[in-house]
Structure 1
Amino acid sequence: MNEPRRPAANEVYRLPPPLFDARCKACWFVLAVVALVVLSFWSLDLQWGRFVSAQALDRMGQFLLQLLAPSTEAAFLLRLVPAVFETLAMSVLGTLLAAVAGLVIAFPASRLPGAEASVWRGPARLLLNALRSIPELVWAALLLVSAGLGPLAGTLALALHTTGVLGRLFAEAIENAPPGPAFALRVRGVGEGRVLMWAVLPQVLPQLVSYTLYRWENNIRAAAVLGVVGAGGLGQMLAFHLGLFQMPETSSVLAAMLVLVLAVDAVSVLARERLMR
């Protein structure tokens, strides 16, 4: 058996630092965050007593009991199935449009490994920041003016917001690609376009696909909510029945949303596992 190593005579062992040190910047930062959280609770004037009162708990219990009895009428389910496929189509088409547009904008927004930055890098990154800084719901509300009610506004809203997200992720992946293959092609006098096509993209393609699948998972949830502002799909049915306090129908719509999200998550996980092989 190996004996434990004995410390040398000239070795110096330091004790672990204290939990709080006046010279520790991280400690002061944590204290500032804690103070900000405490002040936030104090400034919001949250009335926890009313929230946990007997009357409030009784109302929430009745509401939950009504939600646990979904509607199974054939006429309603026939209207629910097309809304499920409409929500799925919105998420798929919005994600595909965003992946293509994000990749196109990511090229000028990134610096190729071993190359100088493009003059369009700043404007392209500014465009990506502007697209993703506006939430999908706001995009949908703005597009309803021009595209009208229905899934078109929701699809375009998903595409615009997701373009900003995927474009930034794609640009970071391109910039972080190993520079070896690109350098080898440049030494032989290959142009930047062919370097990007044959040296950079093959290395980052699995990562780009993984990012796209992850955003598809997010978009299926967002597409189910966009209908609240009239952008079609399950969200529009949810807003209609919830506004009329039709709890059985609302429960069925929520169940359809849950099943759809779980199915998309399972497909995305299986696709990423195949890519990692």
Structure 2
Amino acid sequence: MKHTNSNFNEYADMPQPPAMIELKTALALLALIVLTVASFLSVNIDWNNLFSNEAMRSSKEFLLGFAPPDLSSNLLNKVSLATLETLAMSALGTAIAAAFGLALAVPASGRFGIIAKHGTRLFLNFFRAVPELVWASVMLIAAGLGPFAGTIALAAHTSGVLGRLFAETLENLPKECESTLRINGSSATTAFLYASLFQALPQLLSYTLYRWENNIRAAAILGVVGAGGLGQMLKYHLSLFQMPTAATVIIAMLILVAMVDALSLWMRRHLTD
């Protein structure tokens, strides 16, 4: 009997396996399911009308209007120039945003006190909360039509996004390397540049390249409000119902996005390594 009690006590002292799912996780999943169902109900989607024969016929007629695309040499030259303009807008806007984002991420990571941290984060939240189209509309009034307004609009919105991401990266870095340099007599600036910034650089570059991919798509959309590039061509030809010409512009957009995605993926892999 003593042997049995001893075995029972040993089993009771053993660590028990964790529960399959914690109560907090279960409640969070339940809330997510409720929100998803409520979202579908509030949108009031008419599935019957969406997949009706009339809707299918109209969609088919509209899509067939794009074929075949216009491949005339004159149009291809214009599309090539607009593609380069869209690429330049996205690259320059992302580069400006990366510089401003890094400059604002330093105080936003808490290196200059709690007041500077929350003040800078509020500033970054404002810039990233305003969509690119709104920034482009404001810039078009100030700078007029063309790619300059689109570039500044991309830079303004992306500065807020990258600044917040950079700040989170810098704030979550291990402090040992920078502290070691400070203990050995390095200044705060030197310790930050040679320790923290060096550690965070692969992640910062990865975020920048990812936002460049997004800005390629955004630059194409900004042309709809007159900010230049492929988007402006697309709006113009669609408004005139020149569907084959619009199809050529759309194909150029798809090729540009695919090329930038592939290039960005290759650069991220090599920079991370």
Q: TM-score w.r.t. structure 2 length?
A: 0.89
- 1:46 CA drift (Å): 2.1
Cα 1:274–1:43, aligned 2, differ >3 Å: closer, same or farther? closer
Q: Any idea what SS the aligned residue of 1:195 has?
A: helix
* 2:3 corresponds to: none
* 2:187 corresponds to: 191
Corresponding residue to 2:153 among 154, 157, 171: 157
Q: Residues 110 and 116 of structure 2 are in contact (CA less than 8 Å); yes or no, is this contact kept in structure 1?
A: no
Q: Residues 221 and 261 of structure 1 are in contact (CA less than 8 Å); yes or no, is this contact kept in structure 2?
A: yes
- 1:158 CA drift (Å): 0.4
Structure 1 distance, partners of 2:188, 2:18, is 52
Cα 1:200–1:36, aligned 2, differ >3 Å: closer, same or farther? closer
* 2:124 corresponds to: 128
Cα 1:209–1:15, aligned 2, differ >3 Å: closer, same or farther? closer
Cα 1:17–1:184, aligned 2, differ >3 Å: closer, same or farther? closer
Cα 1:220–1:192, aligned 2, differ >3 Å: closer, same or farther? same
1:252 lines up with 2:248 in the alignment: yes
Structure 2 distance, partners of 1:166, 1:229, is 24
Q: Gaps spanning 5+ residues in structure 2: where?
A: 1-6
* 2:4 corresponds to: none
* 2:143 corresponds to: 147
Cα 1:51–1:119, aligned 2, differ >3 Å: closer, same or farther? closer
Q: Gaps spanning 5+ residues in structure 1: where?
A: 1-7
Percent identity reads 49
- 1:88 CA drift (Å): 0.2
Q: Which has the higher helix share?
A: 2
Q: Any idea what SS the aligned residue of 1:11 has?
A: helix
**Aligned-pair Cα RMSD in Å:** 2.2
Structure 2 distance, partners of 1:25, 1:67, is 51
- 1:41 CA drift (Å): 2.7
Residue-by-residue CA offset, 1:35-92 (whole Å, 9 max, x unaligned): 3333333333322222111111011112222234211112211211110000000001
Structure 2 distance, partners of 1:51, 1:161, is 35
Cα 1:29–1:202, aligned 2, differ >3 Å: closer, same or farther? closer
* 1:234 corresponds to: 230
- 1:251 CA drift (Å): 0.9
- 1:18 CA drift (Å): 8.0
Cα 1:40–1:147, aligned 2, differ >3 Å: closer, same or farther? same
Q: Residues 111 and 174 of structure 1 are in contact (CA less than 8 Å); yes or no, is this contact kept in structure 2?
A: no
Q: Any idea what SS the aligned residue of 2:91 has?
A: helix
1:203 lines up with 2:202 in the alignment: no
Q: Residues 97 and 158 of structure 2 are in contact (CA less than 8 Å); yes or no, is this contact kept in structure 1?
A: yes
Structure 2 distance, partners of 1:40, 1:188, is 57
* 1:221 corresponds to: 217
* 1:267 corresponds to: 263
* Corresponding pairs, count: 264
Structure 2 distance, partners of 1:176, 1:42, is 40
Residue-by-residue CA offset, 1:215-252 (whole Å, 9 max, x unaligned): 11111111111101111100011111112222111111
Structure 1 distance, partners of 2:240, 2:77, is 20
Structure 2 distance, partners of 1:133, 1:76, is 37
Q: Any idea what SS the aligned residue of 1:97 has?
A: helix
* 2:56 corresponds to: 57
* 2:175 corresponds to: 179
Q: Residues 110 and 117 of structure 1 are in contact (CA less than 8 Å); yes or no, is this contact kept in structure 2?
A: no
Cα 1:163–1:15, aligned 2, differ >3 Å: closer, same or farther? closer
